[in-house]
Chains A and B, each alone.
Chain A
Amino acid sequence: MVNDNISTPTLDKVLEVRGLGKVYGNGCPHCFDLTGPEHDTNICPRCGSVVAAHNLSFDLCRGEILGIMGESGSGKSTAVKALYFDEAPTCGTAVFYDQGNAYDLYALNAAQQRQLRNQRFGMVYQNPVLGLNFNVSAGGNIAERLLMSNLSHYGEIRQRATTLLRRTEVLTQRMDELPKNFSGGMQQRVQIAKALATNPPLLLLDEVTTGLDLSVQAAILDLIMEIQQELGTAMIAVTHDLGVIRLLAGRTLVMKYGRVIESGLTDQILEDPQHAYTQRLVASAL
Chain B
Amino acid sequence: MSDQPILEVRDYSKTFVLHEQGKTLPSSSHVNLNVYPGRLTALIGPTGAGKSTVLKGIYLTYLPSSGQLLYRTANGGRVDLATADEHQILALRQRDIGFVTQFLHTLPRQSTEDVVAMPLFQRGVERGTARAQARDILQRLNLPERLWGVSPATFSGGERQRVNLARGLLAKPRLLLLDEPTASLDPKTTDRVVELIAELKQGGTGLLAIFHSPALVERLADAVVELAPPPGTEHFFEGTTP
Partner-B contacts on A (CB < 8 A): 1-9, 11, 59, 61, 64, 218, 222, 229, 247, 250-251, 264-265, 267-268, 271-272, 274-276, 279-280, 283
Contacts and interface: CB of A to CB of B under 8 A. Distances in A.
A222 B109 contact: yes
A2 B174 contact: yes
Interface string B149-188: 0000000000000000000000011100000000000000
A247 B110 CA distance: 13
Contacts of A280: 19-20
Chain B interface secondary structure, helix, strand, loop or mixed?
loop
Given A8-B77, A229-B121, A279-B18, A218 B109 contact: yes
B61 A272 contact: yes
B109 A61 contact: no
A2 B16 contact: no
Interface of B: 16-20, 56, 60-63, 73-75, 77, 86-91, 95-96, 107, 109, 121-122, 172-174, 203-205
B204 A2 contact: yes
A19 to B, nearest CB: 19
A59 B90 CA distance: 14
14 contacts: A2-B174, A2-B204, A4-B74, A6-B95, A222-B107, A229-B121, A251-B87, A264-B63, A265-B60, A265-B61, A268-B61, A268-B62, A275-B19, A283-B20
A174 B113 CA distance: 34
Contact of A272 (B16, B77, B89): B16
Contacts of B95: 3, 6
B60 A9 contact: no
The 5 closest A-B pairs by CB, nearest first: A276-B19, A272-B62, A2-B204, A267-B61, A1-B203
Contact of B205 (A2, A222, A247): A2
A2 B172 contact: yes
Contacts of A5: 74
Most B CB contacts (10 A, CB to CB) among A2, A64, A218 go to: A2
B121 A251 contact: no
B91 A264 contact: no
B86 to A, nearest CB: 5
Nearest to B205: A2
B144 to A, nearest CB: 26
Contacts of A268: 60-63
Contact of B19 (A3, A222, A279): A279
A275 to B, nearest CB: 8
B104 to A, nearest CB: 14
Contact of B87 (A61, A271, A276, A279): A61
Most A CB contacts (10 A, CB to CB) among B19, B20, B95 go to: B19
Contacts of A275: 19
A271 B20 contact: no
A274 to B, nearest CB: 7
Contacts of A279: 18-20
Nearest to A60: B87
Nearest to A274: B63
Nearest to B175: A2
A265 B90 contact: yes
Contacts of B16: 272
Contacts of A283: 20
Contact of A8 (B73, B172, B204): B73
Contacts of B87: 11, 59, 61, 64, 251
A18 B16 CA distance: 31
